[in-house]
Structure formats: C-alpha cells, structure tokens
Structure 1
Amino acid sequence: MSTKYEIVTNDITKRKKADLSFLSEDMAKKVLKFHKSFPQYSETPLVELKNLADYLKIKDIFVKDESFRFGLNAFKVLGGSFSIGMYIAQRLNKNIEELTFEELTSDEIKEKLGDITFITATDGNHGRGIAWTAEQLRQKAIVYMPKGSAIERRDRIRVHGAECEILDLNYDDCVRYASKIAEEKGYVMVQDTSWDGYEDIPRWIMQGYMTMAYEAYNELNAGNIVPTHIFVQAGVGSLASAVTGFFSSVYKENKPIITIVEPDKAACLFKTAQYDDGKLHPVTGDMNTIMAGLACGEPVTVGWEVLHSNCEFFLKVPDNTAAHGMRVLGNPLRKDKRVISGESGAVTAGVVSQLMRLDDLNEIREKINLNENSVVLLFSTEGDTYFEGYLNVVWNGAYPNE
C-alpha cells in the first residue's frame, strides 16, 4: 500500500513573528460571548479517541466535532454570523459586545438597517451559514456555488430562503463573480477569501472561527492537557489561520507542532510555502477533489503571515486520505465515540492514521515528530453535509487506500 504525500518544512524560528493580537484569548472571549447569545448555541463535543490512539501507538487523540454546530452540521456559521454581527455593529456605531443575537434580530434594528442583501460564494457550508444568518435577521442572501457542487448542498441553502445557483465556474471565479455583483448592486460581500481593499470581513470571519478553538482549549485546559500536535485542514486558509493564531497565542512557551493539510489538487498554501519568496501563489484549474470545502486556489491575504510564522509543516494529500479519515472516524474502536465527518472534516484524521500505519510515510512521520508521546488535536469541521457522498465512501468504499 502506498500513499502519495508531499511536505514542506517551514522553519518558524527564521520567520518574522506575525501580530496575533486579533486572534488572542481576549478576542476569543468576545467572540464566544457573542455566539453564546444565540438560542441555538451549545458547546460542540471534544471527543477523546483513546482506543484509536492506542491502536495507532500515540498517547491520545482529541477531535472537535462540529457536526453539532447550531443544527447546521458544520462550523462555518461561526465565521459568517460573527462577521455579519461585526458589520452591523459598525453600521450602528456600536461595539460587538453590546450586540446580542436577540438585539440583532429585533424589530428595532431591522428598522434601522433597512433591507440588506448579503452575497457570497461557497462549496456549501459557508453559504448555508450566511443564508441561515440572513434568515434570522429577516434579510436577503444570494449564494453562488462552483461547478460540481452537490445539489443536496444547494437545496439545503435554499431552505433558508436564499437565492442559490451553481455556476459553471471554479470556486475562486465564483468569488470574483459574487464580488462583481456585490459592487454593481450595492450588496454586502461576506467571504473569507481576502484581497487588497477587502480584508475586514475576512478578518472577522477568522475571528468567528475562534469559538471552536476556544471551546477546545478550555476543555483541554480543564483536564490539564496540552496538545503536542495540531493538524488543521485548509482551503483559502482562514480556518487554519484562526486555529494557528489562537493556539500560538495561548501556548507561547509550549506551542504545539502545527501542520496544515490540503488536497493535492488545491494546495495553494503548500505552494506558497514551497516557493517561500514573499508572494502568494495560487492554484488554478478545476481543483477536482472530494474535499469540496478545501477546493480553493487563492490563499487568504490576512492569514498567510500567521501561518508562515507559526506552522511548522505544510502537507498535501490525495483524496483517499480524506476517505480513509471518514471511515476511521465513522467506525470507532471499542468504546470510542463515533464521529460522523465529511470529506473536508475527516482529512486530518486520515493523515494521522496513515502516518502512523504506512511504512512509506515513515520519513514524514519522523519529520513531524509524531510518536508514542504525541497528544493530537483535530477539528472535524463538518458532518455528512453531502449525505450520498458520505454513504458512498463509508458504505461503498469509494476512494480506497491504494
């Protein structure tokens, strides 16, 4: 059995340190307070997979299971809702700490704001979060999806009253198209992809994701547990930047080894780290991967320095790694809890399992220093958001290990 991985080692001791103040614990407290005001809020499970860890011969594995987030089966609503909250706070000349979900959805604020149309591009999860938030605010949402998107994901967005259309474009071109429409029509673009002149909302989205990281940190901290390794998946890199920035901020003296994981067909952060010339390096083309949520070709500008100065490794992996992770999490050993994880959510579990079990990955495993003393933290960022695809992998064995 062989699995093709490629890795870039990033010597963070030689990097200029990025400003992490916007991803600090103090900021995370504000974000969490905002999300806690939502009636749908409950802390998502941090699942300990002790039997899997024993089988893989590492000390422990923890998986943050975001399939329970707000009933939307994915973490993305955290960034979308917080960024919209920040946008409205600015419109009202208020501090975000003064705004609760109840106030945001009140008749008074609706009257002050008037009608707003939020527009975005998505593979599914982000767009559903924006559509849901707009629905709560009695506002309008327009969502564009790239070619190849699952009809099931499109229909789940439409349930929230949003206009949603699958375009004959890749993800990055969908973003450009949505931005063009927003500019022409005066709509509010809510996207985690950033570019010159469009960085506030992507930064707020990154901050919104910290609720997930902060919950995990608090639970680990309560048990006096410090992870030695964090593996985090990346599309444009906003989630990865949020997780990396937050944990690098709170673990100053004993920072975990952080590895960024991308699909081999959409590895824009890997490519940027590989060139290491001070420029961002996009990936173009269809980026045809089962990891739809990670099929992004252009790195987030506001997050790259966070990643570059704090992530030790950038790893690109094939689709079968994500499929393997889905099967591993969905078929727990002994008394471990089951985690229903989609393609983009499960890829890091697949990485850890394959690194510890496949001889041809020994060199990479040794580079990352993954061993019997490792305590690993992972984020399962979505559940079975594409149900037929989930069954095809977990029941029918699609994308087997080669």
Structure 2
Amino acid sequence: MAKFNIAIEANRHFNGELVADFGYAKGATAQRFHQSLPGYQATPLQPLNDLAKVIGVKQVLVKDESYRFDLNAFKMLGGVYAIARLLCEEYQLDIEQFDFAQFNQKIDKKLTFATATDGNHGRGVAWAAKQLGQNAVVYMPKGAAAERVNNIRNLGAECIVTDMNYDDTVRFVVERAQQQGWKVVQDTAWEGYTDIPTWIMQGYSTLAMESLDQIEQQGLSQPTHIILQAGVGAMAGGVLGCFADKLGANNFKAIIAEPELADCIYRSGKQGDMVNVGGDMATIMVGLACGEPNPLGWTVLKNCASYFVSCEDKVSALGMRVLGNPIGDDPRVVSGESGAIGAGLLAAVHFSDDKQQLMQALDLNQDSVVLVISTEGDTDVANYRDVVWLGKYA
C-alpha cells in the first residue's frame, strides 16, 4: 500500500441545472460535423474488466483518444469545429452543410488563426488550419517539450515558445492577434470573447456523443461515475453538459480531477466561485497546467459535478503505468501525462492506505461503473518512457 496526496471536495453547489449551449442537441450537431471529416472514426471505448475486479468496482471503461485521427489526442475536436464555425460566419455558410473539399475549392483567401497551447490544442488548430488551407500561429509556454513543438511545426504552423506560463501566454496571444489581425482560437473565455470557446466546448462534446453510442452498441451499463480531467475546464464542461442532458445530472457522479499544482477548478469548487492559481504550475500534466478557469465551463461544473479532486503528479504517473501494463485480458492503453489522471485516481484510491475512506468519499462500490477519458497518448515519448520504463514519479 502507499500514500498519495489526494484532496476531495464534495460539490456543495450542485443543482443539476443544464446549460443550453452544452447539451445533447449541440453535441449532436458537432458530432455530425466531425463525422463528415475525411478519415473520421470514433475512438475506442475499452472495457477494463480485470482492472475493475482489482479495484473493486463493477466496470471500468476507458475512452482512448490516442486514436483520434493521427494526432494522438482529443483536442482537434474543439479546434476544427471552432475554425469551421468561424469560416461559416466569415463566408455565410451553414455548419450543417459544411464540406471541406468544396470550401477549399471555392475560397482562396487565407485567414490566420492564433492560439496558445501546452501542446495538444495547438496541434489540433494547426491540423485544422492545414486541412482548410488556412494559416496558424501557435504560442507555447516556457518548458514546452521539443516533440510537441515539432509536431505543430510539421503541420505547417508557426510555433513560438515564450518565457511565460500558460495563462500569461494566452494574454500575449490576444495582444499579438489584435496587432496582426489574426483570429484567436482559444478554449477559455473572457468578457467579449465567448463564441469561439463555446464552439470549442461543443466540439469536445463529440467525446460524450461517441461514448453514449458505444455504451449502447456494446450493451454496457450506463456509467455511475465519470472522471473528467480539467485544465481550464473546457473539455470537462463540454462533455459533462452533454452527459448531464442525456442521462440526467442526478443519475451519475461526475468527478473533476486536476494536478495539485494547477487546481483552479478544485479551489473554485471549495470557494463556490472562480479562483485563479498563479506561478509556474510545474506539473507533469502539462495539458492541465492552467490556472484560470473558463467561466463557461465553470458554470457547467458548478451545476453538475459531484466532486472536485486535486492530486499529486504520481497519481497520473501511476495511471500511465497501469494503463500501459494491463492485467489479465484487458487491452493496453497508451496514455500520456494528462490523459491518465482518471485511471490513476482509481488506481491510487485502490493502493492507498486510506482506500476505504477514499472509496466512500467518492461513493465508489462494487456496483460502480466508471468511465474515464484518456485524452492523449504518448505525445511526449521521452517523458512517457521516463515514467513508464524508468519509474519517474514512483
């Protein structure tokens, strides 16, 4: 057994109220759009039955986003949908009828899309811009992995690493875009900037739509628990809104998990209002190293999440090793640092000296069906091997 730093806060502000922009109908529109993309396939939903037996729950389901096109992460779902919506506004097109091939044949003017990213979002924006014959400029915070930088540049985008943290890099991008006439594609919102982050969140809801379809197709039980990782809370809000609308917010427990060095959603859950976190936020979960909540996502999380969790880096590292080295007949899932926090939380609860208290705190038992989203594969191969092969963050 072991000790893990895991802080759990029950959501005292839960009311189950839905947010119209992030419900099932909006998710269905985004899913139809994604299904029209050349090469689209739903990513696998993997039952880990042997892991479930070890942990002491009925079932563990993993949505594996390492298969999302050839990008190894889910983020392009939001970026490509938002860019398509922007282009529809620019050229008076209907998103329901949007066709990539026809657009590229008819439109020869190029717009430039700018964003700040820890890696996956920027890669998704660069990919979307390339697919649509547009330009992309991507800024990354200090400490960005060379592999993530190169992945963006290989898609034809300009990529610049700053000497700032993520949230300050976002502000810098906004300033540069205003000077250069670029379109900002960012998954957080602020006063006067809500349409694009709304579209990005709606794009993320395809994760939920696919999962709901796959649960039905595979004859699986509906989840009693859904673990969603949060950076700014955009993915968590978009996905949770769709699930809450379809299943009923009172019919499952949503657990929002974050690294303790960037736990703005957890602190907001304790406070009941948005709380920002500053500093370097030097977590291995770089995709979650965000200190300022997206107010659009926060509204959904405040209304419909059951628990907020803050945990140390070795929880995610444990998840990477557990998913990559499956027990029994379970399939292998290659999950990166930000992707593995959900599975890591389940494993850390099981191996913790305080297992019974933690199980009770999250309302987990032998009847629980837990859905986790592995949001990325090994997007930084060197670090993945340091963790899984060499035991970093043991």
Same fold (TM over 0.5): yes
Is the contact between residue 18 and residue 245 of structure 2 (CA under 8 Å) also seen in structure 1?
Answer: no
**Aligned residue for 2:268?**
272
Q: Per-residue deviation at 1:221?
A: 2.3
Q: Per-residue deviation at 1:27?
A: 1.7
User: 1 CA distance for matches of 2:271 and 2:31?
Assistant: 37
**Aligned residue for 1:358?**
352
User: 2 CA distance for matches of 1:280 and 1:224?
Assistant: 36
User: 2 CA distance for matches of 1:309 and 1:392?
Assistant: 39
Alignment of 1:8-47 (within 5 A): 8-13=9-14, 15=15, 18-47=17-46
Does residue 179 of structure 1 match 2:202?
Answer: no
> Deviations along 1:84-133, whole A, 9 cap, x unmatched?
011111112222101123333x220x23xx12110000011000010111
Alignment of 1:1-400 (within 5 A): 1-13=2-14, 15=15, 18-104=17-103, 106-108=104-106, 110-111=107-108, 114-222=109-217, 223-252=219-248, 255-276=251-272, 279-400=273-394
- The amino acid that maps onto 1:7 is I
User: 1 CA distance for matches of 2:359 and 2:211?
Assistant: 25
Q: Per-residue deviation at 1:301?
A: 1.1
Q: Per-residue deviation at 1:154?
A: 0.1
User: 2 CA distance for matches of 1:44 and 1:125?
Assistant: 16
> Deviations along 1:296-345, whole A, 9 cap, x unmatched?
00000111111001001100000000100000000011111000000000
> Deviations along 1:33-90, whole A, 9 cap, x unmatched?
1111111211100001001101111100000000010110000000000000111111
Is the contact between residue 170 and residue 285 of structure 1 (CA under 8 Å) also seen in structure 2?
Answer: yes
Is the contact between residue 18 and residue 244 of structure 2 (CA under 8 Å) also seen in structure 1?
Answer: no
> Deviations along 1:247-274, whole A, 9 cap, x unmatched?
1110127621001000000000111111
| CA shift in 2, pair 1:394/1:51, >3 Å | same
The count of corresponding residues between Structure 1 and Structure 2 is 392
Query: Please, what TM-score do these two structures have when normalized by structure 1?
Result: 0.95
Is the contact between residue 34 and residue 100 of structure 1 (CA under 8 Å) also seen in structure 2?
Answer: no
Q: Which runs of 4+ in 1 moved over 4 A?
A: none
- The amino acid that maps onto 1:250 is K
- The amino acid that maps onto 2:322 is V
Query: Please, what TM-score do these two structures have when normalized by structure 2?
Result: 0.97
- Secondary structure at the aligned position of 1:345 is classed as coil
User: 2 CA distance for matches of 1:253 and 1:355?
Assistant: 24
User: 1 CA distance for matches of 2:100 and 2:27?
Assistant: 17
- Secondary structure at the aligned position of 1:359 is classed as coil
> Deviations along 1:339-376, whole A, 9 cap, x unmatched?
00000000110001111231224323202111111000
Give the superposed CA RMSD.
1.3
Q: Per-residue deviation at 1:18?
A: 4.1
Q: Per-residue deviation at 1:136?
A: 1.3
Is the contact between residue 339 and residue 374 of structure 2 (CA under 8 Å) also seen in structure 1?
Answer: yes
- The amino acid that maps onto 2:116 is A
User: 2 CA distance for matches of 1:167 and 1:48?
Assistant: 40
Is the contact between residue 18 and residue 305 of structure 1 (CA under 8 Å) also seen in structure 2?
Answer: no
- Secondary structure at the aligned position of 2:21 is classed as helix
User: 1 CA distance for matches of 2:20 and 2:170?
Assistant: 28
- The amino acid that maps onto 2:77 is L
Q: Which 5+ residue runs of structure 1 have no aligned equivalent?
A: none
Is the contact between residue 100 and residue 132 of structure 2 (CA under 8 Å) also seen in structure 1?
Answer: no
User: 2 CA distance for matches of 1:299 and 1:143?
Assistant: 21
Is the contact between residue 271 and residue 281 of structure 1 (CA under 8 Å) also seen in structure 2?
Answer: yes
